[in-house]
Structure 1
Amino acid sequence: MTGTRQVVERAAKAMTDEELDTAITALHARHGDLLAAGHEEVAASLNDSTIVLRAILDRRHGRKQIR
């Protein structure tokens, strides 16, 4: 697990469900903006963070994880 992922995971675990939903929505919107601007590497990094947030939210609610 990378350092960035660990930080995102720790922060996400401290968030409420509403905060996670807000963060996921914001990251998704920013991801699209970055792709449109040609910043693929940064967009990919944000997408990775979004996946971590979604996984934590899914785990909280007992939803099946994608592997």
Structure 2
Amino acid sequence: MSDSMNSLRTLSQIICHDCAFHAKVEGAIACVHPEELGVNCAVVIFCNSFQPSQEIDSPCVTFGSDDVE
């Protein structure tokens, strides 16, 4: 694996530890808060390993039971 890929993986792990959502903003990866910014959810990356202390109210993610049949 290249150094740049290792660097990106480490950066993602750091961001996912501190932040549930991140996106590439002006060439850099940044923590974002979609409920505050009106962000296009198609470009927001949700960290599925993030464990918030409370449920996140965001248009980019929902909580509850899935109605899959």
Pair in the same fold by TM > 0.5? no
TM-score, reference length from structure 2: 0.30
Q: Which has the higher strand share?
A: 2
TM-score, reference length from structure 1: 0.31
Structure number, greater radius of gyration? 2
